[in-house]
Copies of this chain bind each other. A is one copy, B any other.
């Protein structure tokens, strides 16, 4: 079949979503060597960040914080449990809920992780101003897209 010029909206260089998607994977790659040292994947690191902050939460709360569902979290949490970093136990009040909490080993890992954000800032060479500015814009974009999704599901 013959070639015709692609309409500009369909060109790769004009895809906002692709740029974000590629950006996300490149960022994960930048974390990799630092996370390897403490034995976590990027997704596992995010779960640990939530737990260091909240000490204990349910699978559902983790999913809401990270925008992940139980199909992703359950096996991930089982791996963190197998690594001895977290505990998984049914709530006594509501046995449908599974409470996730940190072991001593899980808490101890925080002191090894605390240097990672600094390493990332160094790697990307973003100033504090740029960082705050980008974070704000991306958060508001996230809120809009998340809103569009929840509106669509309704």
Interface residues of A (CB under 8 A from B): 1, 3, 6-7, 9-12, 14-31, 33, 42, 46, 49-50, 52-53, 55, 65-67, 102, 104, 107-108, 110, 113-114, 116-118, 120, 123-126, 131, 134-135, 137-139, 141-142, 144-146, 148-149, 152
- Pick from B123, B134, B148: contact of A148, CB under 8 Å: B123
Query: Shortest Cβ distance from A58 into chain B, in angstroms?
Result: 16
Q: Is the CB of A20 within 8 A of B118?
A: no
A-B contact pairs, 18 of them (CB 8 A): A3-B55, A10-B52, A10-B117, A12-B50, A12-B65, A16-B131, A19-B139, A20-B27, A20-B138, A21-B42, A22-B66, A22-B146, A23-B145, A24-B24, A27-B145, A123-B145, A124-B148, A126-B144
Which DSSP category, helix, strand, loop or mixed, fits chain A's interface?
A: helix
A81 to B6, alpha carbons, bound, how many Å? 22
Within 8 Å CB of A148, what residues of B? 30, 123-125
Instruction: Output the nearest chain B residue to A56 by Cβ-Cβ distance.
Output: B3
